[in-house]
Amino acid sequence: MAVNVNEYYENIQNNYLFVEIARRVDKYQEENPDADLIKMGIGDVTKPLVKSVIKAFHNAVDEMADADKFRGYGPEQGYDFLIEDVIENDFKPLGVELKNSEVFISDGAKCDTGNFQELFSQDNIIAVTDPVYPVYVDSNVMAGRSGKPTDDGFYENIVYLPCTAENDFVPELPKEDVDIIYLCYPNNPTGTTLTKDQLKVWVDYAHEKNALILFDAAYEAFISTDNVPHSIYEIEGAKEVAVEFRSYSKTAGFTGTRCGYCVVPEEIFIKNSKGEDVQLNPLWNRRQSTKFNGASYPVQRAAQAIYTDEGKKEIRENLDYYLENAKVIRDNLEKIGLKVYGGVDSPYIWFKTPDDIDSWTFFDILLDQANVVSTPGAGFGPSGEGYIRLTAFNTYEKTVEAMERIKELKF
């Protein structure tokens, strides 16, 4: 008798994208110790937690040092004080009514989007936009739904929905029937968005085909354009066919403290192997109760602080700061003749490499000649080849400096 590995892991292609980037950057820095690198690759924030959040954090930590106020294990679904503020501030202004039992506080949207696939049988067919956030694909590869990788970078059992300049980055409905659809808007990596009418097409499709949408709204706080929905639940009928994921990482700078949530409406039912309807919400509740001990009490109190009047003001200032960085990037890249997308309702800027240079080669050019760390589009899927993603999360000064360096390059 011997231990056997999960052989589906052998189907994962290459390293996780950001691990590979870190490896290349570390190697370059080791060989060039005096290089002043400007990091615009990984989507990590640079501004510190705002004062309201820090104050709430401190107060909660002090409570944990008081025997009368100390809290041990909390509810795996999250504390009601945060759930109620989520519903009141994130959804009621949109005309969306939710129950406390439909909101699940977690340690971030990456974990939720990666874990949610555990609720579904192995033979479900998933569809992803291409390019795509790698976690959606890799978690399904690990679960055995993907089939083998193909020579052109796809997986044989995954349905890909190309999002390119040719279709204005709006995915077309799949030609074959699919069961689970991953949508992320504002999109990571392209920074593009869908209008309410464009998103309604997907909700209608899910109703028609008895499919489920897993909607990643991690970047909704950056939306400023009218008619771009902040939540899929702004679309009629979405609560019957869509789960939504949210994050405080980019909204409030929680990349290092970890907090987010997902919404699983009680109206969603899926089929079991006998063809019977099974409510999805209790399944996720059971999964979380079994495998997750809940986000910590101080972190949830800190997250709650962003919903105070002062917290909202401070968070808005940070979001505007990053959006101004995005404008600087977008404007400067366009000035040198590059085709640029995103960066309006999103902190991500997606641009076409000049002269059809492949993504990883141009990544190396930016690293070696401009000392700017980017993200190669090919790392997000085959349709990302020939593109580069930059983030707006560095400081304004570093962002301006990076653009000056890139403008000096000779393509």
Paired tokens of 28: 């370059």
Q: What is the pLDDT of residue 20?
A: 86
Q: What are the two backbone dihedrals, phi and then psi, of residue 283, each rounded to the nearest 5 degrees?
A: -65, -45
Q: What is the pLDDT of residue 14?
A: 67
Task: Say if strands 387-391 and 375-376 run parallel, antiparallel, or are unpaired.
Answer: antiparallel
Q: What is the pLDDT of residue 256?
A: 94
Q: What is the pLDDT of residue 303?
A: 98
C-alpha span between 242 and 215 (Å, rounded):
7
C-alpha span between 91 and 351 (Å, rounded):
33
Q: What is the pLDDT of residue 111?
A: 96
* Tens-binned pLDDT, residue by residue, of the chain (411 aa): 799 999 999 998 766 688 889 899 999 999 999 999 999 988 889 999 999 999 999 999 999 999 999 999 999 999 999 999 999 999 999 999 999 999 999 999 999 999 999 999 999 999 999 999 999 999 999 999 999 999 888 999 999 999 999 999 999 999 999 999 999 999 999 999 999 999 999 999 999 999 999 999 999 999 999 999 999 999 999 999 999 999 999 999 999 999 999 999 999 999 999 999 999 999 999 999 999 999 999 999 999 999 999 999 999 999 999 999 999 999 999 999 999 999 999 999 999 999 999 999 999 999 999 999 999 999 999 999 999 999 999 999 999 999 999 999 977
Could you give all domains of the chain from N- to C-terminal order, each with its CATH number? 14-43+310-407 (3.90.1150.10), 55-307 (3.40.640.10)
Q: What is the pLDDT of residue 358?
A: 95
Paired tokens of 242: 């869509």
Q: What is the pLDDT of residue 18?
A: 81
Q: What is the pLDDT of residue 17?
A: 81
C-alpha span between 134 and 136 (Å, rounded):
6
CA distances from 281 to 89, 104, 113, 119 (A): 22, 10, 15, 10
Q: What is the pLDDT of residue 42?
A: 82
Paired tokens of 204: 């209608």
Cβ–Cβ < 8 Å for 102, 285: no
Name every residue whose Cβ is closer than 8 Å to that of residue 308 and which is 6 or more positions away in sequence: 52
Supply the pTM of this predicted model.
0.96
The dihedral built from the CA positions of residue 319, 340, 110 and 392, taken in this order, carries a sign that is negative
Indicate the Cα dihedral angle 113, 46, 400, 17, nearest 10°: -40
